[in-house]
Structure 1
Amino acid sequence: MSHAQEPSSVPEDDLAPTQTAGYKVGQQKTIDELAQLDAEDESLARWKASLGIGAGAGAGAGPSSSSGSGPNVEILGLSLTAPTRAQPIQLDLTDSDKVKDLKKSPIVIKEGAEYNVELKFKVNHGLVSGLKYIQAVRRLGATVDKLESMIGSYGPSPEPVVKKFVTEEAPTGMLARSGTYAVRSRVIDDDGKVYVDFEWAFKLAKEW
């Protein structure tokens, strides 16, 4: 998904992933190559099967899955769920025109409410390693919150994956309710490949 033409209200530095000391990104391998590694290791075989790799991985795990069309990872939507709200707030990320308008139409979050961000995505082909979600929130030109969470590694599957992140609590008070919060969200993998990078916004209110 391409960046918007106008300057971002959330700078690039806010989206920089944390680097793990001593960690090095491994050489990219195909699904067929991974399926042949340590074939006698039962625990590794179960892990690979969970990613859709190798024998016993189920439909869609064969060689044809690694050469399909479309992006490796298709980001379908972002949702906010809360115990105090009957229905989630859903952001559709499949329409690029709608995505561009997200930051112009702030969603409403109840002050002091606990909520979770959920990401819905699908791996169409290949193996993606070390997917990570990064979210930065800015208000009045300053970063007020950053969420960085590991999503994991996945092989191709026709079924979407829904990843729920840690519970967050919205600020409270009259000052917090004034103005708009700018949010920039990004999904990135171990190799630094960005699968989605978009902006949205929210306002705080006394009720949803």
Structure 2
Amino acid sequence: MTADFEFEIGAQPPVADSAFEDFWTNFRSEVNWSSSNSTTRTELRTMLSEKYRSGFEATDLMHSTAEEAVNWASETVHGALDETPEDDAFAEYINLQVGLGGRALLAFDEVGWLLRGGYPQGAWTRVRTIHELFVVAATLGLHGMPDGEHPELVARYVCHHQVFTPSVARDLSAANPEVASILDDEVRQALHAKRQALTSQ
């Protein structure tokens, strides 16, 4: 590796959490009030857009900034790697962390759109997803780096994820005929065989 990198888990105590609680309580109350008073979905979305415009724009800016940061970090780290077994292991670790970051960014984007649409409970489920992804990423960061206590965690997580691939393939095939033509019986059998091999380890 042609550069040294230091990684720090970015967990911080909640900032202005009481302000968030106030916002969340008011937001849900307004959505519930609108629903109980026969406000149309279009009217509700217009009201939310006007009242919370600055907050929505701030979350959009946060999302785009975080996306740029993840892309920059990935390009910078990969640009500094050499063709060595140690750096290959580090690349696998970084690829996994970038993938987790991408999934978190997608969930964060969904939070914004669900709030704009007046679905606070749906937004909250995506917040929980972001928290779960953070726990995984933090655990890998603290213990799963190539020079950490448990470098095998990266491979174990990837294998764990692959165990569920046949179920995902089945659901996608059931929902979309075009996908079903790609994920045919032969592909699904191969995915099932891979799952059996992993679960038997």
TM-score by length of structure 2 reads 0.22
Higher relative contact order (CA 8 A, sep 6+): 1
- By percentage of residues, which structure has more strand? 1
Larger Rg over CA atoms: 2
